[in-house]
Structure 1
Amino acid sequence: MTLRYLRLGSCSDTTQQWADFSSALKINQSLKCLDLTASEFPDEGVKLLCSTLRHPVCFLQKLSLENCHLTEACCKELSSALIVNQRLTHLCLAKNNLGVGRVKILCEGLSYPECQLQTFVLCPCNINRHGCKYISKLLQEDSSLTNLDLGFNPIATGLCFLSEALKKPNCSLKFVGLWGCSITPFSCQDLASALISNQSLETLDLGQNILGQSGIMVLLEALKQKNGPLKTLRLKTDKSTKEIQKLLKDVKESNPQMMTECINARTTRSSCCDFLT
């Protein structure tokens, strides 16, 4: 029987044990998904893991380093590995305090054409307006990313940068998760403009943002104008007015394939690492 999925959460092994594990990964060609959530990595341990990712016989496709307290040195090693690895398509770094500097480092690695990463989970990673600038720049550089989860990051004032990226014809994002990102009605105008121009986005999750009636109406008015690729839009609507109900009907008529999910405060979202199963 070949092992395809391995979860080793909450490991606190020594550097030598990580070295042995990394060596084993290099010769295993069946393992495709590795979940190291909440593991305690010494910087040297991450260096060894990234050395494996750079190795031409590493066949890992999905990796989770959620809540692993990644340092700047760790992010540099990971960024370097992403430049040369052409098999890794899914990476979860949720619950790491990345901030601006580490996001910049990671985006530099993702910007190389050799990087084939498609799904990038960054919820929550303390990413703010300035971090959004680097992510936006990445998305405008023919990135391979198709799924980006930024849930629970305080990026409301950085939404303008992400919206600019979504407008670009070379932006290939199909899923954007902005659940609980403190997005306000004021920010919705930038996002609405992006929805009119975008040619690829299929799912937009805006759950648990207080968009208000004005913000929701701006978004729906934009979607009513264009029969685009969007198939799923998630919105928090505690109360749905007649105006919103009419717009929802109009959007459905102009975009028959689109589904609008109006969620309430009790609605939960799926785990940010479901892609590893």
Structure 2
Amino acid sequence: MFEYIKKKIEKNPSPEKFLNLFHCLNELGDSSLMEQIQNYVTAGTVNKVKLSSSQWSALIFVLLTSEQEMNVFKLKDFVGSQIKADEVLLKLLPVVKAYRSAQLNSCGVTDECCVALASVLTSNPSQLRELNVSGNKLGNSGVKMFSSGLENPHCKLEKLWLRYCEITDEGCAALASALRSNPSHLRELDLSWNKLGDSGLKHLCEGLKDPQCKLEKLSLSSCDVTDEGCVALASVMKPNPSHLRELNLSWNKLRDPGIKLLSTGLENPQCQLEKLWLSDCSVTYHGCAALASALRSNPSHLRELDLTKNQLTDSGVKLLDLYTLKFHIPYGIFS
């Protein structure tokens, strides 16, 4: 009987079927395969072993029936020289669906897996609320496929990290479309270190301006944004209600004209922004003057402002009137 069940498992049936088969083995008192895999998991050596089809099934069973709370799935724990990230991810999709957070960053995942990821987002029910795919070469093609999952009403994803994913304005257009189709769940989006440019930012802002969009945190560090893109960003701060609370624009060449445009959004009474990062944005005294004016017009929300690595001068710092404005200044903020 044991061998018959194990042969059935080797045929790689659907997850529902092999889970039932493993339960049968447990009931019959044969847990040898599960114990072997559990030892690999405990020792952290799963990524060093070439697993057979039945062992992969056993791994899924062990992970899904673990007594530990299913909070964070880390793909790196299972990727090694024996098998590529894409293949591992495809095998472990049933596990990814069951976890609240999936950390797939810097594992070598490609656009080939993005259709599968989209299926995870659209599965009902899916427990996934946080997804980190940063540092993978998804490109625009991958983001487009992935966005088809984001726009599905069943998708409940709240946090999405896409840093260093080789995304341009074309990928931003797909993300913006997804945000418009399903705007009510995503709370945090990180697109830092991609080549979005002003055109990509404009696409994105069209999605963010949707009245139902609940995005609170947006990171766009080093995204080739200039003063031209600041017009679109300022418009995102003005809707009533505005949900955006944290905005990171560091390492973009906004310069003083960009800061002046951004300040038109900050001074709007509907702006609820609490944290703003503008490190290394080529800001000078004139940009400080615009920020100071905006903060005087709408002083009640901003708590943290980062202006490190800019050419503010003492005069620019004084303009911000730090002793009367009620926001937190991190150490070395004007260095």
Q: TM class, shorter-chain normalised?
A: 0.7 to 0.9
CA RMSD of aligned residues (A): 1.9
Runs of 4+ in 1 over 4 A off after TM superposition: none
Between Structure 1 and Structure 2, the one with more helix by share is: 2
5+ residue gaps, structure 2, are 1-68, 71-98
Structure with more strand by fraction: 1
Aligned to 1:217: 318
Deviations, residues 103-131 of structure 1 (Å, cap 9, x unaligned)? 11110110011211110000011111101
1:102, 1:185 → 2: CA distance? 29
Aligned-residue offset at 1:30 = 2.0
Residue 188 of structure 2 is aligned to residue 90 of structure 1: yes
Q: How far apart are 1:264 and its partner, in Å?
A: 7.4
Aligned to 1:71: 168
Corresponding residue number in structure 1 for 2:246: 147
Report if the CA contact (8 A) 1:206-1:233 is conserved.
no
Change (3 A) 1:136 1:14: closer
Whole-angstrom CA distance in 2 between matches of 1:170 and 1:38: 35
Q: Report the residue type matching 2:101 in the other structure.
A: Y
Q: Structure 1 residues 186, 14: CA separation in 2 closer, same or farther (over 3 Å shift)?
A: closer
The aligned residue for residue 233 of structure 1 is: 329
- Residue in structure 1 matched with residue 60 of structure 2 by the alignment: none
1:196 and 2:296 are equivalent in the alignment: yes
User: For residue 173 of structure 1, what is the aligned residue in structure 2?
Assistant: 273
Q: 1:189 to 1:14 in 2, by over 3 A?
A: closer
2:306 partner letter: D
Percent identity, aligned pairs only, is 34
CA distance in 1, matches of 2:144, 2:186: 17
Q: Contact between 1:104 and 1:134, CA under 8 Å: does it hold in 2?
A: yes
Equivalenced residues, count: 233
Alpha carbons of structure 1 residues 201 and 263: separation in structure 2 relative to 1, 3 Å? closer
Separation (CA, whole Å) in 1 of partners of 2:318 and 2:169: 42
Shift of 1:94: 0.2
Q: Select between 3-12 and 122-131 the one with higher mean Cα deviation.
A: 3-12
* 1:50 maps to amino acid: S
- Unaligned regions of 5+ residues in structure 1, if any? 235-260, 266-277
Partner of 1:273: none
Q: TM-score, normalised on structure 1?
A: 0.78
Could you tell me which residue of structure 2 aligns to residue 108 of structure 1?
206
SS class of match (2:305): strand
